[in-house]
């Protein structure tokens, strides 16, 4: 609880300086296209800021991902109507104020967050899939195949490791990205060093640009949904 108080104080200081804080009001990381019940933390922070005459405004945002386990996603960001202190009676009891705030925020977010059953593949394709053009598929096919072959020795072991470690939670994606951010530059350096040892010219310099390009090509043409 002490940490919460410290966090609220730090947030109010940012608000007082006209800064921005990103808050995930559901409070939990669950891999689903569904708005979960909202915690009271956002409401408490908002009213405590208004009590200190900080002109805080709350912008509801819905963030929707096309996939929870594929690297490279379609991201859909929807913005709602701003919530401000004029929308509430600040003299009401805390419980009523927090409930009113969450009801309004939930109403906004319901319009912004996709509601899709994991088994409803048709709706997933309709709302989440952005198919590349036929020309893009043709032009990127060979680089994409090369990208998969070259990067599989790095990606597949990391994926297998993270799947085992996140079997009981929904943090697979964030941990995978974090590991790739750390290991991918090292992997590129290793491949470039191998190329230097195998060639006596400067062709290895092409790898600095070619390898990331082949990885990007694969991301463009691969399947976009988890199923």
Tens digits of residue pLDDT in 94-126: 999 999 999 999 999 999 999 999 899 999 999
pLDDT in tens, 177-189: 999 999 999 999 9
What's the average model confidence in pLDDT over 8-17?
94
The arithmetic mean of pLDDT across residues 144-151, rounded, is 95
The average pLDDT across 202-214 equals: 85
Give me the mean pLDDT over the 36-60 stretch: 94
Q: How confident is the model at residue 1 (pLDDT cuts 50, 70, 90)?
A: low
pLDDT at residue 204 greater than cutoff 90: no
Among 11, 13, 100, 98, which Cα is nearest to 47's? 98
Distance (Å, rounded) from C-alpha 130 to C-alpha 22? 27
Residue range 218-223: mean pLDDT, rounded: 91
Per-residue burial over 87-104, b = 16 or more CB atoms within 10 Å of its CB, e = otherwise: ebeeeeeeeebbeebbeb
In Å, what is the CA distance from 45 to each residue of 13, 22, 89, 178? 11, 12, 16, 30
Answer whether residue 166 shows pLDDT above 80. yes
How many Å apart are CA 223 and CA 227, to the nearest integer? 9
More confident residue, 105 or 196: 105
Pick 126 or 169 by higher pLDDT.
126
pTM of the model as a whole: 0.81
Predicted confidence (pLDDT) at residue 85 exceeds the cutoff of 70: yes
Collapsing DSSP to helix, strand or coil, 15 comes out as helix
Predicted local confidence at residue 149, as pLDDT: 96
Please report how the helices 134-165 and 204-221 are oriented relative to each other, as an axis angle in degrees rounded to 10. 90
């Amino acid at each position: 609880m002490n940490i919460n108080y410290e966090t609220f104080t730090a947030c109010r200081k940012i608000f007082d300086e006209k800064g921005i804080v990103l808050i995930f009001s559901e409070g939990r990381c669950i891999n689903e296209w569904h708005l979960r019940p909202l915690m009271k933390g956002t409401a408490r922070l908002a009213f405590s800021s208004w009590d200190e005459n900080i002109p805080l405004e709350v912008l509801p945002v819905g963030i929707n991902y096309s996939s929870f386990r594929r690297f490279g996603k379609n991201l859909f960001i929807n913005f709602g109507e701003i919530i401000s202190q004029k929308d509430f009676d600040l003299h009401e009891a805390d419980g009523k104020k927090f409930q009113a705030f969450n009801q309004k925020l939930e109403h906004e977010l319901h319009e912004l967050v996709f509601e899709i059953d994991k088994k409803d593949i048709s709706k997933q394709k309709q709302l989440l899939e952005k198919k590349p053009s036929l020309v893009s598929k043709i032009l990127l096919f060979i680089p994409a195949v090369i990208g998969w072959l070259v990067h599989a020795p790095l990606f597949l072991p990391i994926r297998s490791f993270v799947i085992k470690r996140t079997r009981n939670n929904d943090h697979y994606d964030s941990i995978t990205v974090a590991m790739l951010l750390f290991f991918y530059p090292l992997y590129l350096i290793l491949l470039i060093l191998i190329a230097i040892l195998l060639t006596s010219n400067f062709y290895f310099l092409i790898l600095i640009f070619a390898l990331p390009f082949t990885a990007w090509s694969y991301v463009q043409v691969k399947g976009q949904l988890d199923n």
